[in-house]
């Protein structure tokens, strides 16, 4: 079956530090890959996505590249801010169509000033 593994948190960084959250996946087909984010007191929101190999998803300074050869979709940001403090979830869905998401366990990020 499909599965997603992401690095365990919590991750604590100082403002302006570089962020990497690792995510690897196992899939029987050719999945689409997503990063979702949950800010305190808010619902899950889509942060970025990629649908085919070598695609780079980007949003709000965050980036992730779909690496088929390493089955990875690591999330990066060059300079984090306090407002980036949240829980980040890596997820996949089967291609094609809109099938349910399979999520990683989530990584809590705390950014301190």
Instruction: Summarize as ranges the residues that interact with other proteins (CB under 8 A).
Output: 32, 34, 36, 42-46, 49, 51, 89, 93, 95-98, 100-106
Decide the pairing of beta strands 107-112 and 11-14.
parallel
Q: Minimum distance between the CB of residue 85 and other proteins, rounded to whole angstroms? A: 18
Which phi and psi (to 5°) does residue 77 adopt?
A: -150, 135
Query: DSSP label at 84?
Result: G
Q: Minimum distance between the CB of residue 65 and other proteins, rounded to whole angstroms? A: 16
Q: Which is nearer to other proteins, 10 or 113 (CB)?
A: 10
Do residues 88 and 107 touch, judged by C-beta distance below 8 A?
A: yes
Q: Minimum distance between the CB of residue 20 and other proteins, rounded to whole angstroms? A: 20
Q: Minimum distance between the CB of residue 77 and other proteins, rounded to whole angstroms? A: 20
Q: Which is nearer to other proteins, 34 or 77 (CB)?
A: 34
- CA-based radius of gyration for the chain: 13
Q: Which is nearer to other proteins, 98 or 113 (CB)?
A: 98
Q: Is 76 helix (H, G, I), strand (E, B) or coil?
A: strand
Q: Rounded to an integer, what is the distance from CA 40 to the centroid of its chain?
A: 17
């Amino acid at each position: 079956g499909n599965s997603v593994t992401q690095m365990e948190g919590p991750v604590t960084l100082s403002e302006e530090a570089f962020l990497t959250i690792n995510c690897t996946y196992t899939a029987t087909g050719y999945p689409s890959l997503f990063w979702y984010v949950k800010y305190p007191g808010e619902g899950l929101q889509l942060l970025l996505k990629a649908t085919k190999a070598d695609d780079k998803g980007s949003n709000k300074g965050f980036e992730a590249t779909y690496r088929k050869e390493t089955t990875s979709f690591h999330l990066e940001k060059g300079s984090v801010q306090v407002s980036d403090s949240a829980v980040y979830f890596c997820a996949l869905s089967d291609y094609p169509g809109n099938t349910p998401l399979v999520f990683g366990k989530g990584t809590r990020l705390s950014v301190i000033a």
